[in-house]
Amino acid sequence: MMNAITKTQDRLLQVILAPQITEKATYIADKHQQIAFKVRTDATKSEIKAAIELVFKVEVQKVAVINVAGKVKRAGKRVGQRNDWKKAYVSLKPGQEINFAAGE
């Protein structure tokens, strides 16, 4: 039983890849109190919610997920494509916040 719990916890720690800190993400954070994260492509909404609550010790109200298609890029004659990825917009319960500036 304990082994299953540690496996799920390890999985949750791998779900969140990075916070998205862009102009759009900052605008959405100010206007809608949502935080954008880059997450694994196979992550589910419930996994993302559990991972955010575990890592940042906050209460999550809602998770919205977007699959982002990788851009087609060229280098001379060669055409390649960046990997597809997944973005999650996380709404926190009122009074909760994640501060990336503080800490380390």
Which residues form the domain of 86? 17-92
Q: What is the pTM of this model?
A: 0.82
CA distance 42 to 25: 22
Segment 64-100, tens digit of pLDDT: 999 999 999 999 999 999 999 999 999 988 888 877 6
Task: Kindly state the helix (H) or strand (E) to which residue 14 belongs, with its residue range.
Answer: helix 2-15
**Whole-Å CA distances, 5 to 1, 13, 82, 99:** 7, 12, 34, 28
Encoded tokens for 48:
């993302």
Is 8 within the bounds of a domain? no
Is 69 within the bounds of a domain? yes
> What own/partner pairs with CB < 8 Å and gap ≥ 24 does 3-11 have?
9/54, 11/47
Q: What is the pLDDT of residue 2?
A: 55
Is 62 within the bounds of a domain? yes
Is 37 within the bounds of a domain? yes
Is 46 within the bounds of a domain? yes
Q: Name the domain count of the chain.
A: 1
Segment 26-65, tens digit of pLDDT: 999 889 889 999 999 999 999 999 999 988 889 999 999 9
Is 102 within the bounds of a domain? no
Positive or negative, the CA dihedral 16, 17, 23, 26 is positive
Q: What is the CATH number of the domain that holds 51?
A: 3.30.70.330
pLDDT at 104 over 70: no
Q: What is the pLDDT of residue 95?
A: 83
